[in-house]
């Protein structure tokens, strides 16, 4: 019984952690400039531009870089914008 309760708590914590870490990005990684990285691929990724308050595209090389690097606009805004629910793009 104690073991199953412990597992429930661990799994619950795992689901809560990503949302908490996404909210904490605004004060740290979201102020970093976009960084292409060391590799030579040409991926179009997204970074948060804190001066304009929105996410913009940049060319990512595929390795290295920093934490201000997201696969799509919605992921970027959810992690960095102070009010992400009003800025989602739906397809």
Give the pLDDT confidence score for residue 83 in this predicted structure: 66
Which residue in 61, 59, 62, 63 sits closest to 47, CA to CA? 59
Q: Using 70 as the pLDDT threshold, list the residues of the chain that sit under it.
A: 1-27, 83-91
- Dist. CA 81–CA 91, nearest whole Å: 20
pTM confidence score: 0.63
Give the pLDDT confidence score for residue 89 in this predicted structure: 56
CATH class of residue range 2-86? few secondary structures
- Dist. CA 49–CA 66, nearest whole Å: 14
Give the pLDDT confidence score for residue 32 in this predicted structure: 97
Give the pLDDT confidence score for residue 43 in this predicted structure: 98
- Dist. CA 49–CA 53, nearest whole Å: 6
Give the pLDDT confidence score for residue 69 in this predicted structure: 98
Give the pLDDT confidence score for residue 15 in this predicted structure: 38
């Amino acid at each position: 019984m104690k073991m199953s309760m412990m597992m429930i708590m661990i799994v619950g914590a795992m689901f809560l952690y990503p949302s908490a870490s996404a909210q904490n990005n605004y004060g740290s990684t979201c102020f970093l400039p976009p960084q292409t990285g060391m590799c030579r691929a040409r991926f179009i990724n997204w970074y948060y531009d804190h001066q304009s308050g929105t996410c913009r595209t940049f060319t990512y090389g595929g390795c290295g870089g920093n934490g201000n690097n997201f696969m799509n606009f919605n992921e970027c805004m959810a992690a960095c914008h102070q009010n992400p629910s009003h800025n989602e793009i739906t397809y």
